[in-house]
Amino acid sequence: MSGRKRVVVIEGEDAAPEAMRPTVALVDRLGLPIDWVRPAEGIDLVIVRENLEDLYVGVEGDLSALRPLALSSPMARRPVADLGPGRFALKVITEEGSARVVRFAFELARRRRAAGRPGKLTCATKHNMLPATDGLFREVATRLAASYPDVRFETFIVDDFARRLVAEPQALDVVVLPNLYGDILSDAAAGVIGGLGLAPSGCYGDGYAYFEPAHGSAPDIAGKGIINPTATILSAAMMLDHLGFAPAARRLEAAVERVYADGRPLTPDQGGTATTLEFAAAVEGYLR
Amino acid sequence: MSGRKRVVVIEGEDAAPEAMRPTVALVDRLGLPIDWVRPAEGIDLVIVRENLEDLYVGVEGDLSALRPLALSSPMARRPVADLGPGRFALKVITEEGSARVVRFAFELARRRRAAGRPGKLTCATKHNMLPATDGLFREVATRLAASYPDVRFETFIVDDFARRLVAEPQALDVVVLPNLYGDILSDAAAGVIGGLGLAPSGCYGDGYAYFEPAHGSAPDIAGKGIINPTATILSAAMMLDHLGFAPAARRLEAAVERVYADGRPLTPDQGGTATTLEFAAAVEGYLR
């Protein structure tokens, strides 16, 4: 991470199921539908991820349970219930959920444009294979684009987008994705810029928001005092922003960036030998 | 691409829906369930992708159509049919489809081990959020691992895997993925190693197989005579392998690698000025 290299990623879903459930439950209880990710060398992109729908509605079952619907697969030319023994899961995309996250992303792109960034929104879906569900998400985004003529809007098929994210991340600004693609590709974005230890995240709802590092509980280094606190500190900066303390957020981010520019007090994941507290003390030093 | 850098990716699903359907139909008609991808600098990995199931069964509809099933979302604590206005798509994972692709991947890992490669199989799923469907895929893979004690087997949550694929691709050998993850992450892998123009693919069924470059129809450069034929030529090498002409396959691959080592007759996507035919002539020259 340098002054031109920043990352933000999603909640700790790499952790074990038990460790993750509370986060999902919290997202649900507070009605927080929107999650985002901001990776970065000359890279400064934000991934806005819908966070309540898609395959995360938690509806699965045996294929035989679908028999009453007489659904048929046009690809397999057989009733779905006869494809098994096997299981199904439901992917759900709603107009309201799609509009909410896309509007959030357009507003963010507009604010970033005002702050001198490109002000572009990229939407990626698998609308060619999933015209009803992903097609709806893309259709809602395309419709809303008309209300944001100042924001450049583009769409890609999600597999093509995955290649672009890895090969040309500098070309991206704000990205909006359905839940599952956002989950997978925000981690890929973290890989592009140097790891989850650098990636803060925010989860935004209508009445609430919460902020946390994107990484999980990292049991392999628990108790060693060497975890990289960058993601946690940058999550705090995102919270300050949300609460209306933008100057304080910028100061905190600048202090973190100066630690990386210094290059000495880095934790082991960044090739240094500093402890978590030594890193934090260095940030504090640059805050004074 | 160097002598130590090779890629193989999937069929042309980046193309428009109309352009893509014939491929899907062909996969279906021939009963070819398995697709693979092999990217590559010190990277030499193969992605084996299930190719008939998952969200590609083509079953979508309005959420209201699900009302007879009285399915409820534990996350939303509401009947699924009430989540809309919106749409659903079905993700399908079967025991048979999973076992077929996993067995193919284990056999490949075993053959690669015999050829001096690590002989490791990595399976990635979202089993924490999708215990019934992705959990089944992972369970089948874990069960089959017992029959391949010579192949090291590991599993990851797919978002964590996405980060690893980007950050540490050298640590991977053979990867097996459900259809959708394979679709997205094979393109990400192509991004890691330099583009779809380098990525051949094979699609294997019980009685048939076919081989093609992973890229789509590339309408932006149609008729210019500058497309990189590497993926097509390496697909031919995969076909030779499949037909039992391994020495010929190795010769063809070696000729392509020598063109890259030479570095002059490269097409524009690789920073060169050669035409497609000039590149092909250079390969032919090294075959003599």
**What are A2-17's pLDDT values in tens digits?**
333 333 332 322 222 3
**What are B101-116's pLDDT values in tens digits?**
999 999 989 998 998 8
Token code pair at residue B68:
């007879």
Mutate which: A57, A125, A168, vs B, most B CBs within 10 A: A57
Strands A174-177 and A46-50: parallel
Confidence band for A196, pLDDT divided at 50, 70 and 90: low
Q: How far is it, in rounded angstroms, from Cα B217 to Cα A151?
A: 30
The nearest alpha carbon in chain B to A89 belongs to: B91
Q: Which of A154-168, A234-248, B98-112, B121-135 tops mean pLDDT?
A: B121-135
- A134 pLDDT exceeds 70? yes
Catalytic residues of A: 56, 126, 159, 183, 187
Q: Which of A132-136, A162-166, B13-17, B253-257 tops mean pLDDT?
A: A132-136
Q: How many helices (H) and strands (E) does chain B have?
A: 8, 11
In degrees to the nearest 10, what's the CA dihedral of A233, A238, A239, A242?
170
Helix (H, G, I), strand (E, B) or coil at B286: helix
Query: Cβ neighbours of residue B129 under 8 Å, at least 6 residues apart?
Result: A13, A55, A56, A58
Mutate which: B159, B170, B183, vs A, most A CBs within 10 A: B159
Whether the Cβ atoms of residue A4 and residue A40 lie closer than 8 Å to each other: yes
The nearest alpha carbon in chain A to B78 belongs to: A57
Q: How far is it, in rounded angstroms, from Cα B288 to Cα B276?
A: 19
CA contacts within 13 A on the Cβ side of A24: 22
For residue B119, the model assigns a pLDDT of 92
Mean residue pLDDT of chain B comes to 83
Active site residue B187: yes
The residue with greater pLDDT, B45 or A13, is B45
Cβ-Cβ contacts under 8 Å between A and B: the total is: 246
Whether the Cβ atoms of residue A187 and residue A216 lie closer than 8 Å to each other: no
For residue A231, the model assigns a pLDDT of 86
Distances B63 to A94, A135, B66, B180 between C-alpha atoms, Å: 9, 15, 6, 22
Residue B74's closest CA among A57, A53, A27? A57
For residue B212, the model assigns a pLDDT of 84
Residues of chain B with Cβ-Cβ distance to A163 below 8 Å are 187-188, 190-191, 195-196
For residue A9, the model assigns a pLDDT of 32
Query: Cβ neighbours of residue A143 under 8 Å, at least 6 residues apart?
Result: none
Task: Give the whole-number percent of chain A exceeding pLDDT 70.
Answer: 84
Asked whether the beta carbons of residue B55 and residue A13 sit closer than 8 angstroms, the reply is: no
The nearest alpha carbon in chain A to B84 belongs to: A94
- A208 pLDDT exceeds 90? no
Asked whether the beta carbons of residue B132 and residue A92 sit closer than 8 angstroms, the reply is: no
Q: How far is A215 from chain B (nearest CA, A)?
A: 10
**What are A265-280's pLDDT values in tens digits?**
999 988 899 999 999 9
Helix (H, G, I), strand (E, B) or coil at A152: strand
Q: How far is A270 from chain B (nearest CA, A)?
A: 13
Burial of B18: CB neighbours in 10 Å, binned 0-12, 13-18, 19+: exposed
Asked whether the beta carbons of residue A55 and residue B24 sit closer than 8 angstroms, the reply is: no
For residue B17, the model assigns a pLDDT of 30
- A128 pLDDT exceeds 50? yes
Q: How far is it, in rounded angstroms, from Cα B247 to Cα B116?
A: 17
Helix (H, G, I), strand (E, B) or coil at B116: coil
**What are B201-224's pLDDT values in tens digits?**
888 877 788 888 877 677 888 899
First and final CA of chain A: distance in angstroms? 22
Other residues' Cβ atoms within 10 Å of the Cβ of residue B142: 13
The number of angstroms, rounded, from the C-alpha of B6 to the middle of its chain's C-alpha atoms is 14
Q: What is the DSSP letter of B52?
A: S
Asked whether the beta carbons of residue A187 and residue B86 sit closer than 8 angstroms, the reply is: no
For residue A37, the model assigns a pLDDT of 43
Asked whether the beta carbons of residue A136 and residue B192 sit closer than 8 angstroms, the reply is: no
Residue by residue, DSSP assigns B209-266 as: EEEEESS---GGGTTSS---THHHHHHHHHHHHHTT-HHHHHHHHHHHHHHHHH-SS-
B88, B157, B187 ranked by CB distance to A162: nearest: B187
**What are B246-278's pLDDT values in tens digits?**
899 999 999 998 998 888 899 998 889 999 999
A52, A74, A86 ranked by CB distance to B95: nearest: A86
Active site residue B206: no
Whether the Cβ atoms of residue A143 and residue A161 lie closer than 8 Å to each other: no
Q: Which of A32-41, A103-112, B3-12 tops mean pLDDT?
A: A103-112
**Out of A190-204, B28-42, B56-70, which region has the weakest mean confidence (pLDDT)?**
B28-42
Annotate B146-173 with b (16+ C-beta within 10 A) or e (fewer).
Answer: eebeebebebbbbbbbbbbbbbebeebb
For residue B41, the model assigns a pLDDT of 52
Q: How far is it, in rounded angstroms, from Cα A65 to Cα A86?
A: 11
Residues in chain B: 288
- A111 pLDDT exceeds 70? yes
In degrees to the nearest 10, what's the CA dihedral of A122, A128, A129, A132?
80
**What are B127-161's pLDDT values in tens digits?**
999 999 999 999 999 999 999 999 999 999 999 99
Task: Give the whole-number percent of chain A exceeding pLDDT 90.
Answer: 51
Residue A132's closest CA among B182, B64, B134? B64
**What are B48-87's pLDDT values in tens digits?**
999 899 999 999 999 999 999 989 998 888 899 999 899 9
Residue by residue, DSSP assigns A251-286 as: HHHHHHHHHHHH-SS--GGGT----HHHHHHHHHHH
Asked whether the beta carbons of residue A88 and residue B133 sit closer than 8 angstroms, the reply is: yes
Q: How far is it, in rounded angstroms, from Cα A248 to Cα A240?
A: 7
Confidence band for B18, pLDDT divided at 50, 70 and 90: very low
**Out of A103-107, A240-244, B211-215, B268-272, which region has the weakest mean confidence (pLDDT)?**
B211-215
The residue with greater pLDDT, A204 or A236, is A236
The residue with greater pLDDT, A192 or A40, is A192
**Out of A279-283, B2-6, B218-222, which region has the weakest mean confidence (pLDDT)?**
B2-6
Q: How far is A287 from chain B (nearest CA, A)?
A: 32
Asked whether the beta carbons of residue A163 and residue B53 sit closer than 8 angstroms, the reply is: no
**What are B167-179's pLDDT values in tens digits?**
888 899 999 999 9
Output helix, strand, coil percentages for chain A, rounded to the nearest 5.
50, 20, 35
A75, A91, A160 ranked by CB distance to B88: nearest: A91
Burial of A77: CB neighbours in 10 Å, binned 0-12, 13-18, 19+: exposed
For residue B196, the model assigns a pLDDT of 67
Give all strands (DSSP E) within chain A, no chain letters.
34-37, 46-50, 60-62, 72-73, 78-79, 86-94, 120-125, 152-157, 174-177, 200-204, 209-213
Residues of chain B with Cβ-Cβ distance to A74 below 8 Å are 58-59
List beta partners, residue B81.
Answer: none
List beta partners, residue B204.
Answer: B34, B209
Distances A63 to A60, A245, B57, B110 between C-alpha atoms, Å: 9, 51, 13, 33
For residue A119, the model assigns a pLDDT of 92
For residue B35, the model assigns a pLDDT of 53
A14, A86, A186 ranked by CB distance to B94: nearest: A86
Distances B164 to A107, B101, B172, B179 between C-alpha atoms, Å: 32, 22, 9, 19
Q: How far is A233 from chain B (nearest CA, A)?
A: 22
Q: How far is it, in rounded angstroms, from Cα A94 to Cα A98?
A: 6
Q: What is the DSSP letter of B5?
A: B
Whether the Cβ atoms of residue B56 and residue A76 lie closer than 8 Å to each other: no
For residue B245, the model assigns a pLDDT of 92
Catalytic residue among B134, B173, B187, B241: B187
Q: How far is B64 from chain A (nearest CA, A)?
A: 11
The residue with greater pLDDT, B27 or B69, is B69
Mutate which: A11, A37, A160, A161, vs B, most B CBs within 10 A: A160
